[in-house]
Structure 1
């Protein structure tokens, strides 16, 4: 018996159906993949901040209870994150840093130009972006950090929002070193590190803006801190009632749905939700405002 071995190919109709089915399955799978990636990035970001919080306490334990500090106006210019490097497994890099020189000095650029994954949130777009500018006549191009030291709240709120004499200072103000024991408001209701992702790019309500931050040099969070403010609901101006994810210039901002992460002075990591009461936020960023805040308030 002779068998017909001729194979029947796909008709145009068959091919169109197959392509439609594959496209449909791909479309159904894509949201799941995106959700999994977002969940993984969020988990890594939380782990980064937990690691930084642990390093802050390790530093304080080794330095007479003092928290890390930044020098923004006092020479030599330096940053809180550099002090943490020995407690983050980066002892060799730390030993190469010269504390007699500004962070921007050519002799310190090896550290300044090093990408350190635990300072960057994987949810943030454009991971290869750079902070560029000049300090004291020295140009720099360094990777940014998505986390900042919480220095307190900005002077712009006094006297428009708070009366003269209100304490604006946080647990890690610039140009001074404070102890854990010098946080009268309590370790469990005072923030020390926050997420402010996307810098040096400016973002408003999830939309990248075509402009440069007003304080370009101050946005390298690895050597500086933020005196935070809140924004209007559209993220265009400050002050206002929006405390989280409205604008990434000197405030809590992330690319996670629903909020941004922050480290509390007791070492725990909290997720500050969009819609957080702005006055609760201001209470959390100060160390001695005397506000009555419960951990249940944020």
Structure 2
């Protein structure tokens, strides 16, 4: 004789119902997760469109794009994110940064100077439009963290460091380009791309690929053209991690105010979500800074015309065994061509 519960079901029937519910939840969960990611990706795309609008408004005002980075006399490196603050409705923050300001009884000169003083609140300001909600690091902004960034300025198919004023991309250190310098066309040139936010500036063995780079790697040469990017690919382990035989650091996106290569730049050489490699351990030096994101299959990229496109991990990267070039077409396929502002390439995305 079967016993019925207060619900009117026998125990066996109740177990069957529970099992069916479990199956339905299992079937629905991926769809729910996909819908949430689609919403996050749309928000991320909208953030990049706003950054594109900010760059165009900056250009209209100053007849040029901003510097990618500027190194002050006291050796602090600032990024373009500061310059565009007035154009993303952050005029008050920009004024505070660029003027002498008193905080908790301490008067700071313009741009703070005391970069790592936690009382200088401008550097610790979280700006939602600078981070992608798909990145788990975007919401992990604690009191000790400077304001983060998921988006980085493109230096093209070169590896300049913070001391170089030349670049193949639309941005450079202490050198501003206007749109007329982008000979390949605004719709054919990448202005910004995503990069996963790093987890630590500490050096460890292995670590996740997104936001981290391999230190002191031979794939990066002593000049912007002396690279062998294919050897950087050999640092990749399994499950999105570096091999533990390599030492890595993770400063990607840890401070939007920082104009160092490892923090606010990408180049268009290695395919999206691939590894990054540094000539040294200092994250302001020459780095193969590879675009990355937490969107399945690729990254969002902002073109110089203000449009946003999705770049897949499988985009053509040409000959990665080739060194970078000083002029002419990029050796790194469609991805490299999208990075160079004056390579005379014809670009067609699939």
**Is the pair's TM-score, using the shorter chain for normalization, greater than 0.5?**
yes
Contact 1:144 1:221 in 2 (8 A): yes
Note the residue ranges of structure 2 that are not aligned, 5 or more in a row: 100-109, 161-165, 201-207, 211-237, 278-288, 318-331
Contact 1:70 1:223 in 2 (8 A): no
Kindly tell me: are residues 189 and 8 of structure 1, through their superposed partners in 2, closer, same or farther at Cα, counting changes over 3 Å?
A: closer
> TM-score under structure 2 normalisation?
0.65
Kindly tell me: are residues 291 and 48 of structure 1, through their superposed partners in 2, closer, same or farther at Cα, counting changes over 3 Å?
A: same
Contact 1:152 1:171 in 2 (8 A): yes
- 1:141 equivalent in alignment to 2:176: no
| SS class of match (1:181) | helix
* Counterpart position of 1:203: 209
Q: CA deviation at 1:207?
A: 2.3
| SS class of match (2:152) | strand
| SS class of match (2:156) | strand
Q: CA deviation at 1:215?
A: 7.5
Which runs of structure 2 are paired with 1:1-298 in the superposition (5 Å)? 9-63=8-62, 65-71=63-69, 73-75=71-73, 77-98=77-98, 100-101=110-111, 102=113, 104=115, 106=117, 109-129=120-140, 141-155=145-159, 168-200=167-199, 202-203=208-209, 207=240, 213-214=248-249, 216=251, 220-224=255-259, 225-226=264-265, 228=267, 230-231=269-270, 243-247=271-275, 250-278=289-317, 279=332, 280-288=334-342, 290-294=343-347, 296-297=348-349
Kindly tell me: are residues 206 and 61 of structure 1, through their superposed partners in 2, closer, same or farther at Cα, counting changes over 3 Å?
A: farther
Q: CA deviation at 1:247?
A: 3.0
| SS class of match (1:272) | strand
Contact 2:152 2:266 in 1 (8 A): no
> TM-score under structure 1 normalisation?
0.76
- Any idea what the Cα deviations from partners look like across 1:155-193, whole Å, max 9, x if unmatched? 49xxxxxxxxxx742111122222122222221211111
RMSD over equivalenced CA pairs, Å: 3.2
Kindly tell me: are residues 212 and 88 of structure 1, through their superposed partners in 2, closer, same or farther at Cα, counting changes over 3 Å?
A: farther
Kindly tell me: are residues 35 and 150 of structure 1, through their superposed partners in 2, closer, same or farther at Cα, counting changes over 3 Å?
A: same
